[in-house]
Amino acid sequence: MTTLPGILKGAAMLTNIIGFICVMVSELNYVSRANWFNFVAMGGFWITGILLVFYLFHIIEKFYMINWLKIEFGYCALWSFFYMTASIAVAAGGLEAWAAAAFFGFVAMAIYGFDAYLKFKGWRSGQIAQGERTVATASSTMSGETLEQEGSLTPKCDSDKSPTPRTTNWGRFLNSTKEATQSIETQDDSEPGNGEKVHVVI
**CB within 8 A of 99, min separation 6: which ones?**
90, 91
Residue 149, in any domain of the structure: no
Q: How many domains does the chain have?
A: 1
Residue 142, in any domain of the structure: no
Residue among 76, 83, 17 nearest 51 (CA): 76
The mean per-residue pLDDT over the stretch 28-38 comes to 93
Residue 6, in any domain of the structure: no
Residues 34-54 have pLDDT tens digits of 999 999 999 999 999 999 999
**CB within 8 A of 118, min separation 6: which ones?**
4, 5, 8
Residue 183, in any domain of the structure: no
User: Do the beta carbons of residue 39 and residue 20 sit within 8 Å?
Assistant: no
Residues 43-96 have pLDDT tens digits of 999 999 999 999 999 999 899 899 999 999 999 999 999 999 999 999 998 889
Would you call 89 helix, strand, or coil by DSSP? helix
**CB within 8 A of 54, min separation 6: which ones?**
60
What is the span of the domain harbouring residue 72?
Answer: 19-124
